[in-house]
């Protein structure tokens, strides 16, 4: 296994789409060669990625739970990982790797009907608590007991953009020659998209088929969020309505690799929610035993309110689950 294949490195990997323009032309800083732990973090972009990912998943869970009609829990390893320090975060993924589950792809969240909450909590307790879920094999009866109540599984993505201010936001789709006459926008258009990595498609497809739980992609921006059913995303690729994009990802240790992603226009998804209260961007830093300091920006607070369209999607899933 190469360094950047390790789950810790994979989760913190950063691509242009996620941080394009956020750290444009930074001045030379002495902490670019900072050693935080055995894996070198080459700048605040990796720590921002960590903070942003933790923040967006919590925001989605709170938004679902706030409806009183549905509840959400973290299911993938990132949602139950410790958030107190990057070192604790890394050690958590080391444990996951040691358990032989480091490469298993799981959706980040599970969504249930609020009426099933007592049964869900009982199943979680039998499994040893939320923090233990990532360390239990998919075919374990304890997980199957939990999954039988799930309405949907959610793969979370996030981007450091105000969606409403993106230059091509609200631009209608028009026939494009490169798409064979299918609707789209000019190449390089800047607008909200719902991202799925090519490497995640087959694992998510297999997970959905094995567990019989529909997967949805929820992509959070600073002010808005959009959802897209995984099955619909697969149709968009098959119909060539979404073309592949090759991105360069960089892991904290500096290793780079090119990966294909699919950026689905938000027009094809459903409005998931909007910001009812904006988060605060707070200064933060980490310091190693030698006194080296690495500053970054952390995300705190904020509230996302689910849209009527999102609630309708969940209600329809609930109706199908109970048939």
Instruction: Give the model's confidence band at 55: pLDDT under 50 very low, under 70 low, under 90 confident, else very high.
Output: confident
Report the pLDDT averaged over residues 34-61. 67
* Alpha-carbon torsion (236, 223, 310, 78), positive or negative: positive
Question: Can you give the pLDDT at residue 135?
Answer: 83
Question: Can you give the pLDDT at residue 37?
Answer: 47
Question: Which of 78, 17, 48, 61 lies closest to 281 in space, CA to CA?
Answer: 48
Distances, alpha carbon 236 to alpha carbons 111, 120, 156, 304, 314, in Å: 24, 34, 19, 27, 21
Q: How many folded domains does the chain comprise?
A: 1
Q: Read off φ and ψ for residue 24, nearest 5 degrees.
A: -65, 130
Do the Cβ atoms of 10 and 251 come closer than 8 Å? Answer: yes
How many residues does this entry show for the chain? 323
Alpha-carbon span 132 to 37, nearest angstrom? 24
Residues 256-269 pLDDT 10s: 788 899 999 999 99
Reply yes or no on whether the pLDDT at 26 is more than 60: no
Q: What is the residue whose two structure tokens read 């792809």?
A: 105
Q: Which of 72-76, 87-91, 97-101, 188-192 has the lowest mean pLDDT?
A: 97-101
Question: Can you give the pLDDT at residue 94?
Answer: 77
Reply yes or no on whether the pLDDT at 300 is more than 90: no
Reply yes or no on whether the pLDDT at 195 is more than 80: yes
Question: Can you give the pLDDT at residue 200?
Answer: 93
Reply yes or no on whether the pLDDT at 64 is more than 80: yes
Q: Which residue stretches of the chain are H helix?
A: 7-12, 16-19, 44-66, 77-80, 86-98, 117-126, 141-147, 198-211, 230-238, 308-321
Do the Cβ atoms of 209 and 200 come closer than 8 Å? Answer: no
Alpha-carbon span 27 to 21, nearest angstrom? 14
Reply yes or no on whether the pLDDT at 79 is more than 80: no
Question: Can you give the pLDDT at residue 53?
Answer: 78
The larger pLDDT score, comparing residue 95 to residue 176, is at 176
Question: Can you give the pLDDT at residue 22?
Answer: 44
Residues 148-157 pLDDT 10s: 999 999 999 9
Reply yes or no on whether the pLDDT at 30 is more than 50: no
Question: Per DSSP, what are the bridge partners of residue 296?
Answer: 284
Question: Can you give the pLDDT at residue 105?
Answer: 81
Going by their DSSP bridges, the two strands 270-277 and 174-175 should be labelled as unpaired
Report the pLDDT averaged over residues 302-317. 96
Q: Centre a 10 Å sphere on the Cβ of residue 242 and count the other Cβ atoms it contains.
A: 22
Distances, alpha carbon 293 to alpha carbons 33, 201, 306, in Å: 11, 38, 38
Alpha-carbon span 216 to 152, nearest angstrom? 7
Residue range of the domain that includes 223:
3-321
Question: Can you give the pLDDT at residue 19?
Answer: 47
Residues 205-258 pLDDT 10s: 999 999 999 999 999 999 999 999 999 999 999 999 999 999 877 665 666 788
- DSSP SS3 for 288: coil
Reply yes or no on whether the pLDDT at 118 is more than 60: yes
Reply yes or no on whether the pLDDT at 85 is more than 90: no
Reply yes or no on whether the pLDDT at 70 is more than 80: yes
Find which of 17-21, 46-50, 162-166, 289-293 is predicted with most confidence, using mean pLDDT: 162-166
Instruction: Give the model's confidence band at 36: pLDDT under 50 very low, under 70 low, under 90 confident, else very high.
Output: very low
Do the Cβ atoms of 239 and 282 come closer than 8 Å? Answer: no
Going by their DSSP bridges, the two strands 174-175 and 280-287 should be labelled as unpaired
């Amino acid at each position: 296994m190469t360094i950047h294949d390790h789950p810790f490195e994979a989760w913190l990997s950063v691509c242009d789409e996620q941080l394009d323009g956020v750290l444009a032309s930074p001045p030379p800083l002495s902490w670019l060669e900072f050693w935080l732990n055995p894996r070198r973090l080459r700048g605040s972009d990796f720590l921002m990625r960590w903070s942003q990912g933790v923040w967006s998943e919590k925001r989605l869970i709170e938004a679902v739970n706030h409806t009183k009609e549905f509840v959400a829990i973290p299911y993938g390893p990132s949602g139950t990982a410790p958030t107190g320090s990057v070192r604790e975060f890394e050690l958590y993924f080391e444990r996951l790797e040691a358990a032989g589950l480091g490469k298993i792809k799981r959706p980040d969240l599970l969504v249930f009907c609020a009426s099933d909450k007592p049964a869900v909590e009982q199943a979680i307790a039998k499994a040893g608590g939320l923090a233990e879920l990532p360390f239990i094999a998919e075919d374990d009866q304890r997980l199957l007991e939990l999954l039988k109540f799930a309405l949907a599984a959610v793969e979370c993505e996030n981007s450091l953009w105000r969606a409403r201010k993106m230059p091509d936001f609200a631009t209608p789709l028009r026939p494009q020659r490169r798409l064979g006459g299918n609707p789209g926008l000019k190449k390089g258009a800047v607008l909200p998209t719902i991202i799925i990595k090519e490497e995640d498609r087959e694992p998510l497809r297999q997970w959905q088929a094995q567990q019989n739980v529909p997967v949805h992609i929820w992509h959070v921006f600073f002010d808005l969020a959009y959802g897209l059913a995984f099955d619909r995303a697969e149709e968009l690729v098959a119909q060539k309505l979404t073309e592949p994009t090759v991105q360069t990802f960089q892991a904290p240790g500096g290793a780079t690799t090119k990966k294909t992603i699919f950026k689905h226009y938000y027009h094809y998804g459903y409005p998931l929610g909007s910001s009812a209260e904006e988060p605060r961007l707070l200064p933060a830093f980490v310091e190693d035993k030698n006194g080296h300091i690495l500053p970054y920006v952390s995300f705190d607070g904020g509230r996302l309110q689910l849209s009527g369209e999102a609630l309708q999607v969940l209600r329809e899933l609930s109706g199908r689950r109970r048939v």
